[in-house]
Amino acid sequence: MDLNFMIQILPRLLRASLTTIQVSLLSLLLGTLFGLLMGMIRVLGPRFLHPFVNAYVTFVRGTPVAVQIYAAFFLLPRIGLNWSLFEISVFALTFNSVGYQIEIIRAALQSIDKGQHEAAAAIGLGKWKAMWLITLPQAAQRMIPPLTNELANLIKASSVLSIIALYELTRAGEAIIASTFRYAEVLILMSILYFLMIQSLTEGSNYLEKNVFNFRTSRIKTRKIKQPAG
Amino acid sequence: MNMNGAHPLLKVKNLTKKFGDHFAIKEANLEVMRGERVVLIGPSGSGKSTLLRCINYLEVPTSGTVWLDGEYIGGRYNDDGSWVKDSPSQLTKKRQHIGMVFQSFNLFAHLSALDNVTLGPRWVLNMPKKEAVEIAQQLLEKVHLEEHSHKLPAQLSGGQQQRVAIARALAMNPKLMLFDEPTSALDPRLTNEVLDVMLELAEEKMTMIVVTHEIGFAREVADVVFFLEEATIVESAPPALLFSDPKDERTRQFLVDCNILK
Ligand SMILES: Nc1ncnc2c1ncn2[C@@H]1O[C@H](COP(=O)(O)OP(=O)(O)OP(=O)(O)O)[C@@H](O)[C@H]1O
Ligand SMILES: [Mg+2]
């Protein structure tokens, strides 16, 4: 193993890692936006829309991400969209992620205690207001762990984008191997970089879950309950 | 119309709720005057909760009507006598006039005590924040929790949570308050702090229907006590009468089982 070689290729791999993170995070966030919309439709929306949402979920889950990426790559230009490789990549991964996020979001929304909905109804809140003010904020906390998992999946799935030549980490590694044939060093560095990306994003979301969304313990430090005298 | 010429605030007519083939409440009739305090008692499964939950349509009755202060809950009669069901938004609007307190408190878990109380006024009544907070603070004071207004439900005792829940319901300025076993999840000391608040409400002539096993509360507060068994209202009478000399044998048996009658 050649440390000097590794140090020499590190900047290239780091720059490609940045693309990996950008594609994955952007797809996660866009996926959450559409996932929330479709998840809420699935929970509260008119019944005739449910089969469409279900069909979408079944389709995404039933086809390989490589096929979805190829489809985006070849079909988007056919319908007149002249998108960059990066945009096509974000589209493909978002399309994929929405299929998984709908189920994550639906499960979290439906896990909120029935009593919360009844209390909301009893003070005269309509179902969409109750969704926005009561259900969604509480479900948000429960969505974070599975969404973190989804982000890790997206980072790994983004390596498949190398098939349409997006210059992300896997593509960059492949290119270096093709020109130098020194696969051991490249693969070790790639593994470490993927691991670090996934690990740091996971830690970040753990922090979010514990400190920002945790309404059971956060905000007020003292958990002691002052009992009235008597 | 009763003797002093008062009109009923609430009229429940022939109310029936079936779950499958099973009657949870059968042909219930009930009239409550403005300012009247009603207590429902009866064995477990007799349909007390169902009757209460049908009044604000948390449970949609299988048949029968609920009329509150000039309008039917859940629908209305057309000029030609046909019944038109309320849309979800119409029903939502009517519900705000009926406050409900649950056995399991059901405070909004992510909101402070204060925010629990202001939520209804702000988002249902569209009150400005400042005004809603003022009202909420007064109500939290009324239930003796002014010092806990910033706390989350998980940081409050059961008794405190239930008092916040009462304040939350009162914030909507309801015409009628429903209590479904509000103290059943509490130990005796916490029970008393909740009953004290309910007692104050009763003294202010808040119209209320209370499902409870607290016979002491019923004796002290109720204008009339209803006894339910097997989905039917068996009889009703003022507490002094019902608890000492019930007309129906089933009521007598229940009171004996509860050690209220010898
Ligand atoms: N959602 C439901 N689905 C099916 N059956 C129900 C449902 N809710 C109530 N029941 C049945 O209806 C009957 C009356 O129930 P209800 O909860 O009104 O009784 P209750 O008098 O409030 O009893 P408790 O004192 O235990 O609270 C019971 O036999 C119960 O099993
Ligand atoms: Mg009950």
pLDDT of residue A216: 59
Buried b (16+ CB within 10 A) or exposed e, A122-148: bbbbbbeebbebbbbbbbbbbbbebbb
Taking the CA atoms of residue B176, residue B181, residue B185 and residue B186 in that order, the dihedral angle to the nearest 10 degrees is 70
Residue of the CA atom closest to atom 14 of ligand 1: B47
pLDDT of residue A113: 94
| Helices (runs of H) and strands (runs of E) counted in chain A | 9, 0
Please say whether the beta carbons of B67 and B13 come within 8 A: yes
Contact A216 B152 (CB under 8 A): yes
| pLDDT of B144 strictly over 90 | yes
pLDDT of residue A223: 38
pLDDT of residue A214: 67
pLDDT of residue A226: 43
CA distance B60 to B83: 15
pLDDT of residue A215: 67
Contact B109 A216 (CB under 8 A): yes
> pLDDT exceeding 70 applies to what percent of chain B?
98
The amino acid sitting at A32 is T
Chain B interface includes A212 (CB < 8 A): no
Mean pLDDT to the nearest integer, B143-163: 95
Location of structure tokens 């070790």:
A188
The amino acid sitting at B6 is A
User: Which run of H or of E encompasses B32?
Assistant: strand B22-33
Contact A119 B108 (CB under 8 A): yes
Mean pLDDT to the nearest integer, B254-262: 89
Question: Tokens standing for A171?
Answer: 């593509």
| pLDDT of B2 strictly over 50 | no
Full DSSP string of A121-158: HHTT--HHHHIIIIIHHHHHHHHHHHHHHHHHHHHHHG
| pLDDT of B3 strictly over 60 | no
CA distance B148 to B144: 9
Residue of the CA atom closest to atom 22 of ligand 1: B49
Full DSSP string of A72-115: HHHHHHHTT----HHHHHHHHHHHHHHHHHHHHHHHHHHTS-HH
- Pocket test residue of B21, B40, B41, B49 for ligand 1, highest count of atoms within 8 A of CB: B49
pLDDT of residue A151: 94
Please say whether the beta carbons of B113 and B140 come within 8 A: yes
Please report the residues numbered 176 through 205 in chain B whose beta carbons come closer than 8 angstroms to any beta carbon of chain A. 189, 193
CA of B47 to the centre of ligand 1 (A): 6
Residue B7 — very low, low, confident or very high, per pLDDT cuts 50/70/90?
confident
Q: Enter the ipTM.
A: 0.93
| pLDDT of B149 strictly over 50 | yes
Q: What is the pLDDT of residues B122-142, one digit of tens each?
A: 999 999 999 999 999 999 999
Question: Tokens standing for B24?
Answer: 């949870």
Please give the domain boundaries of chain A with CATH numbers for all domains.
Answer: 3-226 (1.10.3720.10)
What are B37's strand-pairing partners? B208
Buried b (16+ CB within 10 A) or exposed e, B140-159: bebbebeebbebbbebbbbb
Contact A225 B156 (CB under 8 A): yes
Task: Give residues with Cβ within 8 angstroms of A55, minimum separation 6.
Answer: none
- Cβ of B19 closer than 6 Å to ligand 1, yes or no, is yes
Question: Tokens standing for A192?
Answer: 């470490």
Left, alpha or beta for B76 (phi > 0: left; psi -120 to 50: alpha)? beta
pLDDT of residue B4: 54
pLDDT of residue A2: 87
| pLDDT of B8 strictly over 60 | yes
Q: What is the pLDDT of residues B82-116, one digit of tens each?
A: 999 999 999 999 999 999 999 999 999 999 999 99
pLDDT of residue A209: 81
pTM, two decimal places: 0.88
Q: Cα distance from A221 to chain B (closest Cα, Å)?
A: 10
pLDDT of residue A1: 76
Helical spans, DSSP H, in chain B: 48-55, 88-95, 113-123, 129-142, 158-170, 188-203, 215-221, 239-244, 249-257
Residues of chain A under the 50 pLDDT cut: 217-230
| pLDDT of B209 strictly over 80 | yes
